[in-house]
Amino acid sequence: MRAISPIKDELMTFTEEPNAIPAVEMRDITLRFPGVLANDHVNFTLFPGEIHALLGENGAGKSTLMNVLTGLYKPQSGEIRIHGKKVSFNSPRDAIANGIGMVHQHFMLVENQTVTENILIGLDTPHFALNLKKFDHEISDLADQFGIHIDPTAKIWQLSVGEQQRVEILKILYRGANILIMDEPTAVLAPQEADELIETLKGMAAQGKSIAFISHKLNEVKQVADKLTVLRRGRVTAERMDLENFTRESLASLMVGREVIFNLQKCEQTAGREVLRLEDVSAVNNKNLPALRNVDLALHEGEILGIAGVAGNGQSELVEVITGLRECTGNVWLEGKNIANKPPAFSISHGLAHIPEDRIGVGSAPNLSLTSNIIMKRYDQKPVSQKWQLDYVAADSLADGLKTEYDIQAPNVQTQARKLSGGNLQKLILARELSSAPRLVVAMQPTRGLDVGAIESVQQLLLNQRAQGCAILLVSEDLDELLSLSDRIAVMYEGHVVGTICSGDFDINQIGLMMTGTIPQDLKSPSSVEDSSGSNENSSISAPSSRFDEVLDHVKSFEESSSPSEEADQSVTPPEEPSEEDLPPSEILPEEDPELNLSEKERVLRKVLGEKYQQGDVE
Let me know if residue 79 belongs to a domain. Answer: yes
Average pLDDT estimate for 255-259: 68
Q: What is the pLDDT of residue 539?
A: 32
> For residue 613, what pLDDT is reported?
56
CA 184/CA 194 separation, integer angstroms: 11
The whole-number average pLDDT for the span 19-23 is 86
DSSP string, 534-563: ---PPPS-----SHHHHHHHHHHHHHHHHS
pTM, 2 dp: 0.64
- Apex 195 CA angle, 191 and 196, nearest 5: 115
Give yes or no: residues 374 and 226 share one domain.
no
Q: Does residue 89 have a pLDDT over 80? A: yes
**Residue 153 confidence (pLDDT):** 92
Give the domain-ending residue among 256, 291, 317.
256
What is the arithmetic mean of pLDDT over 300-318? 91
The answer to which of 59-63, 303-307, 424-428 has the lowest mean pLDDT is: 59-63
Do 78 and 194 reside in the same domain of the chain? yes
Q: What is the mean pLDDT of residues 158-164?
A: 77
β-strands 337-338, 329-334 pairing: antiparallel
Which is more confident, 605 or 247?
247
CA 19, 20, 25: angle at the middle one, nearest 5? 115
338 vs 477, residue with greater confidence: 338
156's CB contacts (< 8 A; 6+ apart) are: 109, 110, 111, 112, 113, 114, 115, 118, 164, 167
Is the model's pLDDT at 313 over the cut of 80? yes
| Full residue range of the structural domain in which residue 50 is found | 2-99+177-256
How much is the pLDDT for 12?
41
Residue 378 has pLDDT above 90, yes or no: no
C-alpha–C-alpha distance, residues 159 and 487, integer Å = 30
Instruction: Determine the pLDDT at residue 291.
Output: 93
CB 36 within 8 A of CB 194: no
Measured between its terminal Cα atoms, the distance across the chain in Å is 43
Domain C-terminal end among 411, 437, 463: 437
Query: How many CB atoms lie under 10 A from the CB of residue 580?
Result: 9
Instruction: Reduce the DSSP state of residue 169 to 3 states and report it.
Output: helix
Same domain flag for 48 and 191: yes
Listing DSSP states for 56-78 in one string gives --TTSSHHHHHHHHTTSS--SEE
Amino acid identity, position 590: P
Q: How many domains does the chain have?
A: 2
In-domain check, residue 192: yes
> Are residues 220 and 82 part of one domain?
yes
DSSP secondary structure, 335-385, as one string:
TTEE-TT--HHHHHHTTEEEE-S-TTTTS--TTSBHHHHHTTTTTTSTTTE
Q: What is the pLDDT of residue 245?
A: 73
Phi then psi for residue 103, to 5 deg, are: -95, 110
* CB-neighbour burial class of residue 19 (10 A; exposed 0-12, middle 13-18, buried 19+): exposed
Please write the tens of the pLDDT for every residue from 47-85.
999 999 998 877 788 888 999 999 999 999 999 999 999
Pairing state of beta strands 24-33 and 77-82?
antiparallel
Q: What b/e string do you get for 55-81 counting C-beta neighbours within 10 Å, with b at 16 or more? A: bbbbbbbbbbbbbbbbbbbebeebebb
DSSP-based three-state secondary structure for 481: helix
Position 459 in a domain: no
521-576 per-position pLDDT tens digit: 666 533 333 333 333 333 333 333 444 444 445 444 544 554 444 444 444 444 45
Domain containing residue 211: CATH number: 3.40.50.300
Answer whether 475's CB lies under 8 Å from 273's CB: no
Strand-pair partners of 183 = 214
What are the b/e assignments for 267-295, b being 16+ CB within 10 Å? eeeebeeebbbbeebbbbbeeeeebbbeb
CB distance 205 to 49 below 8 Å:
yes
Question: Domain for residue 17, yes or no?
Answer: yes
Evaluate if residue 10 carries a pLDDT over 80.
no
Cβ atoms of residues 314 and 492 within 8 Å: yes
Report pLDDT digits (tens) over 577-600: 444 444 444 444 444 444 445 554
- Whether residue 58 is found in the same domain as residue 186: yes
Distance of CA 486 to the CA centre of its chain: 18
Report the C-alpha gap between 160 and 316 in whole angstroms: 8
Whether residue 242 is contained in a domain is answered as yes
371 lies in the same domain as 247: no
Is the residue at 512 inside a domain?
no
- The verdict on residue 272 lying in a domain is no
Asked if 66 and 29 touch (Cβ cutoff 8 Å), the reply is: no
Give dist(CA 242, CA 231) in Å, integer: 15
Q: Is 210 in contact with 227 (CB distance < 8 Å)?
A: no
- Which of 410, 437, 464 is where one domain is finished? 437
Q: Is 83 exposed, middle or buried (0-12, 13-18, 19+ CB in 10 A)?
A: middle
Question: Which residues make beta-bridge pairs with 30?
Answer: 77
Same domain flag for 251 and 375? no
Q: Are residues 88 and 205 in the same domain?
A: yes
In a domain, 402, yes or no: yes
